[in-house]
Amino acid sequence: MINPKAKTAVKNTLIYLTLTTFALFFVIPFLWILSTSLKGNEQIFVIPPQWIPSTFMWDNYAKVFERIPFLLYVKNSVFISLIVITGTVLSSSIVAYSFACLNWPGRNALFVVVLASMMLPMQVTMIPVFVIFKEIGWLNSFKPLTLPAFLGGGAFNIFLLRQFFLSIPRDLLDSARIDGCSEFRIYWNIVLPNAKPALATVSILTFMFTWNDFLGPLIYLSDQAKGTIALGLGMFVGQYVTEWSLLMAASMLMMLPMLIIFFVFQKYFIQGFIMSGLKD
Amino acid sequence: MILAMGIFLFMPSDKAPDDGKIRLKYWMVSAMLEAPFHITEFNKTHKNIFIERTPLPWNEHEKKILTSILSDNPPDLIFLVTPVAKWATRLALTPLDEYIKRDNFDSTIFFPALWEEMKFKNNIYALPLYSNSYAFFYNKRLFREAGLDPEKPPRTWDELLEYSAKLTKRDAKGNYTQMGFIPTYGNVHTSVIMAWERGAQMLINDGTKVSLANQPTIDAFKWMADYYEQYNVKDVSSFQAGFGFAEQQGFVAEKLAMMVLDNSFPDQINHYNKNLEFGVAEIPTFEGFEPVSFSGSWWFAIPRGAKNKEAAWELMKFAVQKNIQLTEAEKQRELLFPSNSSAANDPAFLALNPSNKIFTNLIGHSKTPTIVPLAHDVFWREYIGAQERVIHKLQSPAEALKQAEKIIQMHLDETIEYDNYVRSKVLVN
Amino acid sequence: MINFGLNKLSKQQARTGLIFMMPWFIGFLIFGLYPMVMSVYYSLCRYDVLRIPQFIGFGNYEKLILEDPYFWTSISNTLVYTALRVPLCIIGSLLLAVLVNNAVRGVKFFRTVFFIPSIVTGVVLSVVWLWMFNPQFGLLNSFLAYMGISGPLWLLDPNWSKPSMVLMSVWSIGGGRMLVFLAALQGIPKHLYEAVDIDGGGWWAKFRNVTVPMISPVLFLWSVLEIIFSLQVFVEAYVMTQGGPLNSTMFYNLYLYNKAFNDFEMGYASALAWILMIISLIITIIQFRLSKNWVHYDGGAK
């Protein structure tokens, strides 16, 4: 018989080996992007590739700002994201409160509609919605990208917050009601403060989605000055196909806020996904 | 609170200086970095109008312009290269007939072929501003290295194949390091030119019938298939994946010895690779056939719903004058060819660049890439798709072209039907 | 008195409840129900938004089923992509979750590292991998060349383009999906594994007879979602290949986008959207039918 201690040691070594292999697979591309973003053209097209550029071309990052109005795009993206987050958090939480904490006729039936609407592919509604925005003269503005967030904030977020609100003790709400609190006060002063982690999760997921959204801006924004960062990067590919160092520098810049947010709010990321993956 | 402050901070601002001038929004689909001369000069000479130029990148430009028209906030003037008819059938342009009549505008100043393209259903919708014309470029240094006479470019496609073999090099692993000619690289489709040279008519019956599966085009596709059989599609694609724009363009980087390029290239080569020693000649043809070239027209037009139509028309008339086009030609680096024929034939223009004479002569016997105006995108998508299928040996030339012809025809029929329907229901213009 | 009070309270609550859910309801009417109805109408028309719609009955459907080769190409591309991607991603995430479920030191660090790539999505992901896939100077072929293998053309080769895009999505298997699987794994009671130990079963028996059945609801939910996502693939193809080479990455959604916003054939694109909806629905229904054979909802209770 093999001694169990040795068996554990072998097992652990194997585990670490696998973990490390995967870690390399996941991390090396980042190093490669970083390395490319700091190279000059003559260093990029070298076989075999150099990992550490012979001279660091920090210039590439400056060039990104020259070639496309990068700052303006960042500004637009931040602006859109902030409004969408505000709208989503406010409206999805109040709707979720209604579905989770209030009794009204037809509630369960409508909640099924909420869930079902998640399955509706946006392609089906995309064209008529485009026509609606055309009719009210909102094309080529940020309105189609931002204002709908105030109308429900997305079925998925309603679902996620409802699940969380259900876990808030009923007694807390009922005693407030007996004290004569209005439902809005209960929602605003009791439920929202208790749901901070869930709201943070919704905000972060919303930010990630909005920051990366490509199709929305692609359809609605035609003015160059109204571009978002995702759109800008997408168009950059078309125009400067082989200026890889600039493309990688632009990609690094676009990834940066997401990476920072990830490292700061790790906890909420993990929570958000676990909550959304609930068994039912 | 913080969110609200953030939103305020990042609020986009639309501020235009208020100086009482008409602000003319002019969208140009081109890679020109600096404002062309006709704009700067117009701004200088017209005190009541100020032109705001916006360069539009090629990607998605059509969607951008159409959405701006849909949102009732179009530019006052657009500068484009795609078929006028396509825009006109969508009711996206303002007809110019009234302006032309009122001001007795003389349309004979343009090359006749360019002017013809500005019409759709008895109306004029645009004025040509430039044309771009294509010729055959070859690398004299690489010719010498391969033991070819640098003053004798190939005259026929058979000669080109011979030259190409001599100009192609591989490394130890068998990868290409230099090639003579890649018939599908660049904006021009060599096969279309070959088909034209042998007399192909691709749109017949008054513009209602597409004819692609004709013998000259089938033969041109066979030539393509043979070429790629010989050079291997995968190897060529892999080599071509290393090309890019500007100094990495295949011909400019001297990785490719021969190529069909437009009249902006002498300047581009000067700019990105001064040491490149090149020659310009007519595009090769087949034994016993006249050579044909390719030239597209760049035009400008007033979108439907534009706010400053008079000012836009003012600028259009101004920009196509002979002296403006001549000065523009002198000043502009990435120059497109003047649409005004007397400017293009002026000795001052011909002296600007040794190859200008070749290009001016070529416009006389060149054809437009707008082959099926009302199904332009579909035509090229299908044509290129068919060519790819032939190159990859998925279909025979005749099969591929028949398939493409059917789809283009279907699309053309629908476009015509829709156009007729709309014209029967609403008062157009 | 008390009864009356409660009744009043619940009436008031019902009213407030209705008011509070209004934002969603209005949004649903404007951006859900009305567009669905209009989309049916447009799908029966020729319509380019710039001009008036022309009613043509089922013409669009007839054309796309009988005469449009790209419709079938894009369907088969999308199905192949989905069939390659979904199993690979689900199994990949599950294996990774099993791996990080081992209570070794520093495993949390690895978990974080595995998660990072999944933050990179959409355009950035596509741009970055476009460079990784470059046949001459990209990371993948440089690495393969180092190993003495001459790599494929990846996105430039019609046979490799779809597998390339699948490979790209494997980079993100350590993301949210893995975390959900991990949480599910951690919810499995220990005694179930001990029971297998007593029966003399090895790790495979544990995985096969305990792990998979216990987390089958989560696996099922995610396979339904992933299939729906995969059927809607768009950005990757738009940014990296524009549908080429030889239409091998002309996915359904890209084709739909091109029809709608390049050609402005909104009627035709609406018909395409409905067909996509029907395909998704059929696949989901089949999955629910099949799920009865392998998904166990009663697992944890015993």
Contact B3 A85 (CB under 8 A): yes
Where do the domains of chain B lie? 19-132+295-367, 133-293+370-414
Question: Residue B290 and residue B283: Cα distance in Å, rounded?
Answer: 10
Fold of the CATH domain B133-293+370-414:
D-Maltodextrin-Binding Protein; domain 2 (3.40.190)
Looking at domain A62-276, its CATH architecture is Orthogonal Bundle (1.10)
pLDDT in single tens digits along all 280 residues of chain A = 567 788 888 888 999 999 999 999 999 999 999 999 998 877 887 767 778 888 888 888 998 888 788 899 999 999 999 999 999 999 999 999 999 999 899 999 999 999 888 877 788 899 999 999 998 989 889 999 999 999 988 888 998 899 889 888 888 888 998 888 888 999 999 999 988 888 988 998 899 899 999 989 988 988 778 889 998 888 777 666 667 888 899 999 999 998 998 888 887 777 766 666 553 3
Residue B398: what pLDDT?
A: 97
Task: Pick the residue from chain A with its C-alpha nearest to C19.
Answer: A98
* Cβ under 8 Å to C: A residues 171-190: 177, 183-184, 187
pLDDT category, B8, cuts 50, 70, 90?
Answer: low
Q: What would the DSSP string read from start to end of C163-203?
A: HHHHHHHHTTTTSHHHHHHHHHHHTS-HHHHHHHHHHT--H
Residue B16 has pLDDT above 90, yes or no: no
From the list C50, C137, C153, which residue is nearest B234 (CB)?
C153
Give the separation between CA B249 and CA A176, rounded to whole angstroms.
72
Are B385 and B189 a contacting pair, CB within 8 Å? no
Which residues from chain B sit within 8 angstroms of residue C245, using beta carbons? 237, 388
Bridge partners for B54 per DSSP: B27
**Interface partners of B (3+ CB pairs, < 8 Å)?**
A, C
Q: How far apart are CA B56 and CA B80, in angstroms?
A: 10
Domain boundaries, chain A: 4-60, 62-276
Instruction: Say if CB A95 and CB A153 are below 8 A apart.
Output: yes
B19-132+295-367 and B133-293+370-414: identical CATH topology:
yes
CB B110 within 8 A of CB B276: no
pTM, full prediction: 0.89
Give me the amino acid identity at C298.
D
DSSP string, C240-294: HTTT-STTTT--HHHHHHIIIIIS--HHHHHHHHHHHHHHHHHHHHHHHHHHHHH
Residues of chain B contacting A, Cβ within 8 Å: 3-4, 6-7, 10-12, 54-60, 63-65, 67-68, 70-73, 242-245, 248
Q: What is the pLDDT of residue B334?
A: 60
Please give the pLDDT value at position A234.
Answer: 83
3-state secondary structure of B28: strand
Give yes or no for a contact between C101 and A255, defined as CB atoms under 8 angstroms apart.
no
Cβ–Cβ < 8 Å for B26, B316: no
Instruction: Write the DSSP string, B281-345.
Output: EPPPB-TTS---EEEEEEEEEPBTT-S-HHHHHHHHHHHTSHHHHHHHHHH-SSPPEESBHHHHT
Domain boundaries, chain C: 69-301
Structure tokens at C302: 């015993």
What's domain B19-132+295-367's superfamily in CATH? Periplasmic binding protein-like II (3.40.190.10)
CA–CA separation, A38 and B224 (whole Å): 41
Burial class (CB in 10 A: 0-12, 13-18, 19+), A179: exposed
What average pLDDT does range C45-72 have in this prediction? 94
Residue B237 with chain C: CB contacts under 8 Å: 153, 156-157, 245
In Å, how far is A273's CA from the nearest CA of chain C?
5
Summarised one tens digit per residue, pLDDT across range B149-193 is 999 999 999 999 999 999 999 988 888 999 999 999 988 889 999
User: Does the C69-301 domain belong in CATH 3.40.50.300?
Assistant: no
